[in-house]
Amino acid sequence: MSITSTAASGNRLLIRFLVVATVLYLAWFFGYEQWLAQDGRLDTALCTQIAAASTGVLNILGFTAHVDYSLPKHILNLVVINGKPAVVVGPPCNGLVLYALFAGFVVAFPGPFRRKLWYIPLGIAVIWVLNVLRVVALALNHEYSRDSMDFNHHYTFTFVVYGFIFMLWMLWAKGLALSPASQRTEVAPPTAAHA
């Protein structure tokens, strides 16, 4: 394959990625921002799931934790640890944007459709677990070191979560998106001519 045809193929893949990513963004904007967010039921369900799972983990770890659902807005869930309010789980914290961001990248990036069918749900499940652990860590941070909670919430945990999603993207782009034939071709050592 010549350098020119490789560059043209790379440009087509980039254009395809940008077109699919743009279409997915518009679908997100009109589907979620203009409709589902206004409805609130999806956000409420996700917030409730994250808060309940987080208190479950805290209880397993030996803390007394529960969710207080009495906040004025029904979509906010307050995680209470050892009788003290610790973390409010609201729409920005429920992980929906992270799931969409992850899935959108995998859908837009070329790769076998069958692999996408299992990799996207698996990735979303891993991100969900990571988000639950983030809320648990924030509750413990609030319990033991309130002074650092704001910094950790806005920077440390954001860096960790987005770094992990980036690693999932790289796993897809560098390994799983390639077809088995292209993986064999890439790793096959060049053959030497015999004199």
Q: Does residue 77 carry a pLDDT above 80?
A: yes
pLDDT, residue 21, reads 81
For the chain, the distance separating the N- and C-terminal CA atoms, rounded to the nearest angstrom, is 25
Long-range contacts, stretch 180-186, CB < 8 angstroms, 24+ apart: none
Q: Does residue 187 carry a pLDDT above 60?
A: no
Measure the CA–CA gap between 76 and 44, rounded to whole angstroms: 7
CB hemisphere CA count around 185 (13 angstroms): 6
Note the pLDDT tens digit of each residue in 15-29: 887 888 888 888 877
- Residue of 31 and 127 predicted with greater confidence: 127
Measure the CA–CA gap between 96 and 63, rounded to whole angstroms: 27
What is the rounded average pLDDT of the residues 52-72? 92
Helix (H, G, I), strand (E, B) or coil at 42: helix
pTM: predicted TM-score of the whole model, two decimal places: 0.79
Other beta carbons within 10 Å of 50: 24
CB 82 within 8 A of CB 143: yes
Q: Does residue 6 carry a pLDDT above 80?
A: no
CB 127 within 8 A of CB 95: yes
- Residue of 154 and 3 predicted with greater confidence: 154
**Amino acid at position 10, single letter:** G
What is the band of 193 on the pLDDT scale with cuts at 50, 70, 90? very low
Distances (CA, A) of 144 to 86, 149, 154, 159, 183: 11, 9, 18, 21, 48
Residues 6+ apart with CB under 8 A from 101: 165
Task: Of 98-107, 113-122, 178-187, give the range with the top mean pLDDT.
Answer: 113-122
pLDDT, residue 26, reads 84
pLDDT, residue 192, reads 45
Backbone angles phi, psi at 88, to 5 degrees: -100, 125
| Lowest mean pLDDT, pick from 64-68, 70-74, 150-154 | 70-74
pLDDT, residue 126, reads 96
pLDDT, residue 15, reads 85
Note the pLDDT tens digit of each residue in 124-178: 999 999 999 999 999 999 999 999 999 999 899 989 999 999 999 999 988 887 7
